């Protein structure tokens, strides 16, 4: 069998690359004759640069301001660097490298939710723009900040000066959500609690974002606060839109750039892939909004039924019922929390739990092959 291993990261426990390696070793321990391809994925959050680097490019690194003002080392990626002078290169910037939740010194709190800044993202943007690429893609997700991109804009000198600094560069915001900046579905109310904000702090953050939104207008003077993706990255999406950026699906962009979309489009022809195993920390309503698992399942489901590559998801926990994940196009979902008895037990030893889950899938496939007298390669 030919298997593609394409997980996203598992929260704060395993990066996408680490998860893919665990899957690889667990599968080959059960089925050493199979052919495996590792294509770790991302929806724009942590692991965005690492996932894209599997297709080559030049990694760059710089010290920038972290979420609470401390210096952190952040990487970005340039692909097509030999074309830089012709404005042909693409620079990939990951916001979480500069202001990610994982960079906080401890658990997020109301205080850190208020203080966290996106200034380091602005520093990364200037570094990337200095390479004179044709486009800069900013992956949004997993940030500690809810500042509406004000920290980033301060570094750029404001919206107008930021537009001048990025003149001639196509700016793209790669997000996993389509949330607006403000309101019940916005950055503060939906994602603030994940960043440590209590009810009182959520209200303060919402009011700060409302004040910031007044200066976040596009080049035609139109407000951007309610546009799709404006609330991504704690409002970084809105700031990037105001700078002239366009929003795209992060999961779709990475799947395409890593070649996984082509794999799914080719379907189950002889010599093609037999199975894709993906995964993430939590399968829930946010998954349906455009995260990696739903994107890959949807791409597979779009192919004719007889040619679809089955997609299986191994997740930390599953909050969706079978009709929901079946409707996404998934053939099977394995929950590590169910396997280990609780989410906390799965988190305590995520690597072993993931290996156990993947080994179990491999064994079931082997048993099915044995029952029908061999491998059906389509």
Per-residue pLDDT at 377: 42
26/69 same-domain check = no
Q: Is residue 378 part of a domain?
A: no
% of the chain at pLDDT higher than 90: 82
Sign of CA dihedral 211, 217, 223, 227: negative
103/229 same-domain check = yes
pLDDT digits (tens, 9 = 90+) for 205-232: 999 999 999 889 988 889 999 999 999 9
Decide which of 205, 232, 251 is a domain's last residue.
251
Q: Is residue 20 part of a domain?
A: yes
What is the average pLDDT value for the chain, to the nearest integer?
Answer: 92
More confident residue, 361 or 269: 361
Q: Is residue 178 part of a domain?
A: yes
235/135 same-domain check = yes
pLDDT digits (tens, 9 = 90+) for 333-373: 999 999 999 999 999 999 999 999 999 999 999 888 777 66
More confident residue, 40 or 85: 40
> Is pLDDT at 83 greater than 80 in this prediction?
no
> Is pLDDT at 183 greater than 90 in this prediction?
yes
Count of beta carbons in the 10 Å neighbourhood of residue 76: 28
Q: Is residue 377 part of a domain?
A: no
- What is the total residue count of the chain? 378
Decide which of 235, 251, 267 is a domain's last residue.
251
Count of beta carbons in the 10 Å neighbourhood of residue 222: 10
% of the chain at pLDDT higher than 70: 96
Contact between 297 and 311 (Cβ < 8 Å): yes
Question: Structurally, how many domains does the chain consist of?
Answer: 2
State the residue range of the domain holding 238. 48-251
52/132 same-domain check = yes
90/66 same-domain check = yes
CATH of the domain at 167: 3.90.1510.10
CATH of the domain at 277: 3.40.50.10350
> Is pLDDT at 307 greater than 90 in this prediction?
no
64/115 same-domain check = yes
């Amino acid at each position: 069998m030919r298997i593609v291993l394409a997980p996203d990261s598992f929260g704060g426990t395993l990066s996408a690359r680490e998860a893919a390696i665990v899957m690889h070793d667990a599968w080959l321990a059960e089925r050493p004759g199979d052919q495996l391809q590792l294509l770790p994925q991302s929806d724009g959050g942590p692991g965005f640069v690492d996932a894209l680097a599997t297709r080559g490019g030049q990694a760059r690194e710089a010290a920038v301001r972290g979420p609470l003002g401390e210096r952190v080392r952040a990487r970005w990626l340039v692909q097509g660097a030999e074309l830089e002078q012709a404005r042909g290169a693409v620079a990939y910037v990951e916001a979480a490298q500069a202001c990610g939740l994982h960079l906080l010194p401890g658990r997020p709190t109301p205080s850190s939710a208020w203080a966290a800044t996106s200034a380091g993202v602005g520093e990364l943007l200037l570094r990337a723009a200095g390479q004179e690429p044709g486009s800069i893609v900013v992956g949004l997700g997993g940030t500690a900040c809810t500042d509406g991109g004000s920290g980033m804009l301060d570094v750029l000198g404001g919206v107008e000066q930021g537009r001048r600094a990025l003149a001639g560069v196509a700016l793209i915001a790669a997000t996993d959500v389509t949330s607006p900046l403000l309101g019940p579905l916005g950055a503060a109310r939906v994602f603030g609690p994940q960043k440590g904000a209590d009810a009182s702090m959520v209200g303060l953050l919402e009011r700060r974002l409302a004040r910031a939104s007044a200066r976040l207008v596009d080049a035609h003077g139109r407000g951007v606060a309610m546009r799709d993706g404006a609330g991504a990255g704690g409002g970084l999406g809105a700031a990037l839109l105001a700078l002239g950026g366009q929003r795209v699906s992060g999961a779709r962009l990475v799947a395409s750039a890593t070649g996984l979309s082509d794999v799914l489009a080719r379907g189950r022809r002889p010599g093609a892939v037999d199975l894709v195993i993906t995964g993430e920390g939590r399968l829930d309503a946010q998954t349906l909004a455009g995260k990696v698992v739903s994107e890959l399942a949807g791409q597979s489901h779009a192919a004719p039924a007889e040619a679809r590559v089955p997609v299986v998801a191994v997740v930390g926990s599953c909050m969706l019922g079978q009709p929901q994940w079946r409707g996404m196009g998934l053939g099977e979902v394995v929950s590590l929390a169910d396997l280990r008895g609780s989410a906390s037990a799965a988190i305590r030893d995520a690597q072993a739990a993931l290996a156990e889950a993947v080994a179990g899938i491999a064994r079931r496939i082997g048993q099915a092959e044995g029952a029908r007298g061999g491998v059906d390669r389509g």
